[in-house]
Structure 1
């Protein structure tokens, strides 16, 4: 542990928020501008989608690996390395002369995925115990806000500058965050002993690639294509081999015993299902509202205007994240996840059946921000409380990673539904969007049912018993608050 005075935790939080915020923006900034990038770089529509796919694959692979490396060797410098990779990738993308270089740059940017679990781990190490849930909730909400805010900002940035600045601006923010992390974030005092098991790391990479490539390409290749079926089969085999290797590894990359904890696997299942619905909405709602009204639906919105229609979701997600810490202590994380899924299901149903007026879109995006903001923030806090401190980074990293995998599934399934029936104009039929958003509402409803499986923490029956419990901890020299005592009890109860 460093002997110098440790910086105030609020300064640490500001640096974490800046770096993670830049990574979150880069997840979605390019979505509304793929057609512009396609024209600028003189490539095809199917080829330009790899600008998204490459980033998704890289982040999915690197998030749990860097989380584990941080747990072993110290979170500070691995966090700095993740931000450095994100900055280098952003600069390379900004000056990319062709599609191949841009795709390579997006792969490098995927290193920034490690900032998520490392940031959560740093919070648990550095923050007062009663501030951990709130800080984790805000950062978790920030990752979701970045997804919607990127779509909102893309149009104004391109109109005022050009598409290259979609990478310059996050790159500059990342550089500032990296310098701030070097100067002000203390080295983590908590480590998990061991080394990196490279066979599980390779197998993890293999099955994620084998899964995400066909899910991303199935709408163009066809779900029944031999390549899609073959890659999905390979993904299953590699996933089984990965689990086997993790169980046999002396120092597993991801502890399967940890993943079996009720407080972990239940929240991961909900994250997968919510990811399906959220990414499908972010990917296809802009396309829906940009469709000319002459098609019988849509509003003929510009890129900037379609982004503004998604703005309420980002605002409400972040606003909800500010109160998740307090709500978690009062109501419990399980209640918030269930409530968030129910609210999200209602909003998705609005997209399916109430989309003839612009105000309906604004209301629905605001409502879905409340629902997913509650669920994402509370899920992350649940996972943090369910694992030992030394496994925080890898556990939260896998939760975020599973959400990304769910997003890939959702985007691919939504694309297949929407494009199943095309009008003579070449535009999707209105029924495709209605069916697609209806299916996503059903998926989020299943997420609400899955959230009922999340263990409920035991609470002291009376104020007297709570005070006695805290008094015992204080007398034994453990300087914790009532909230942290409850958190450790939750971790203990969910642990096995």
Structure 2
């Protein structure tokens, strides 16, 4: 087991990493109340706006395993901060998106931020004493459900009482606050696999496999497999 850092309060570390997990996971469900509205907003078909959801899933499926390995190579704190960049920029792109195509790009960027949750969980073993580790992992892991659960009612309230674009502005602000907290309260620990090489070929193969699987699951019923006779 890695040496626990003495430079940080374990409870504070768990709180900051849990906040990072919520900021990342909330993006997965925050657009749910907007799904029936997107065709009218962007004046396009429902099948086209469905890519707003699919793009997030695809980007997240690829980002989670790859960001974990990059965290081992270059430092988990550094990767947390890097993943927050597309999360913030993606929210801003969505907030100003004039078309469904730009909206899809923004949502794909937000999907890359999904890697923050497993990275946060992995960091706990370096920041929390052994006797508190199980509870800390459970707390940060729960942010997947908490973020998803609070994302929908918050989004519904914003859509009901304000402009839907404010939802993404608020998301970028929350993520920026989390970035500041990570920068200030989470120490930069040595990378566990520093000096090792990154398997680019394996990453490309993994990306192709995951994208193919997610596309088949999410779009198979729409695209169909064979014509009816």
Which residue in the other structure is 1:53 paired with? 54
How far is the alpha carbon of 1:120 from its aligned partner? 0.7
Distance 1:197 1:6, change over 3 A: same
For the pair 1:8 / 2:9, whether they are aligned, the reply is yes
1:179/1:225 CA distance change after superposition, 3 Å: farther
Aligned equivalent of 1:119: 120
Contact 1:22 1:171 in 2 (8 A): no
1:28·1:150 contact (CA, 8 Å) conserved in 2? yes
The whole-number CA distance in structure 2 between the counterparts of 1:29 and 1:225 is 34
Structure 2 residues not aligned, in runs of 5+? none
CA distance in 2, matches of 1:182, 1:78: 12
Q: CA deviation at 1:180?
A: 1.4
Q: Verify the 8 A CA contact 1:48 1:99 in the aligned structure 2.
A: yes
Matches within 5 A, 1:441-480: none
Instruction: Show the 5 A alignment for 1:18-37.
Output: 18-37=19-38
Aligned residue in 1 for 2:93: 92
Q: Distance in 2 between matches of 1:132 and 1:161?
A: 41
Distance between the aligned counterparts of 1:52 and 1:72, measured in 2? 31
8 Å Cα contact 1:91/1:168 also seen in 2? yes
SS of the aligned residue for 2:70 comes to helix
Is this contact kept in 1: 2:83–2:115, CA < 8 A? yes
Contact 2:71/2:191 (<8 A) preserved:
no
1:178 shift after superposition: 0.8
Could you tell me which residue of structure 2 aligns to residue 68 of structure 1? 69
Cα shift readout 1:223-277 (whole Å, capped 9, x = no counterpart): x338xxxxxxxxxxxxxxxxxxxxxxxxxxxxxxxxxxxxxxxxxxxxxxxxxxx
Distance in 2 (CA, whole Å) between partners of 1:94 and 1:12 is 31
Per the TM alignment, residue 165 of structure 1 is displaced from its structure 2 partner at its CA by: 2.1
Q: Are 2:71 and 2:79, in contact at CA under 8 Å, matched by a contact in 1?
A: yes
Q: Distance in 1 between matches of 2:93 and 2:16?
A: 23
Aligned counterpart in structure 2 of residue 201 of structure 1, from 188, 200, 203 = 203
Structure 2 residue 147 is matched with structure 1 residue 146: yes
- 8 Å Cα contact 2:8/2:127 also seen in 1: no
How far apart are the structure 2 equivalents of 1:148 and 1:128? Answer: 29
Instruction: Please state how far the C-alpha of 1:21 moved relative to its aligned partner.
Output: 0.4
1:148 Cα shift?
2.2
Aligned with residue 211 of structure 1, among 210, 213, 218: 213
CA-to-partner distance for each residue in 1:98-126, whole Å, 9 max, x for gaps? 11111111111122111012101111110
CA shift, 1:212, in A, is 1.0
Q: 1 CA distance for matches of 2:226 and 2:86?
A: 35
Contact 2:74 2:191 in 1 (8 A): no
Secondary structure of 1:35's counterpart equals coil
Note the alpha carbon deviations across 1:340-376, whole angstroms, 9 max, x for none: xxxxxxxxxxxxxxxxxxxxxxxxxxxxxxxxxxxxx
What does 1:23-422 correspond to in 2, within 5 Å?
A: 23-189=24-190, 191-193=192-194, 194-222=196-224, 224-225=225-226
CA distance in 2, matches of 1:225, 1:187: 53
Q: Within 2, Cα distance between the matches of 1:210 and 1:125?
A: 35
How many matched pairs? Answer: 223
Residues 120-159 of structure 1: CA deviation (Å, up to 9, x unaligned): 1111110011111111111111211222222222211111
Given the two structures, how large is their TM-score scaled by the length of structure 2? 0.91
Aligned to 1:442: none
CA, structure 1 residues 97+144, in 2 after alignment: closer, same or farther (shift >3 Å)?
same
The answer as to whether partners of 2:38 and 2:46 remain within 8 angstroms in 1 is: no
Scaled by the length of structure 1, the TM-score of the pair is 0.43
Partner SS for 2:222: helix
Q: Which has the higher contact order (CA 8 A, sep 6+)?
A: 2
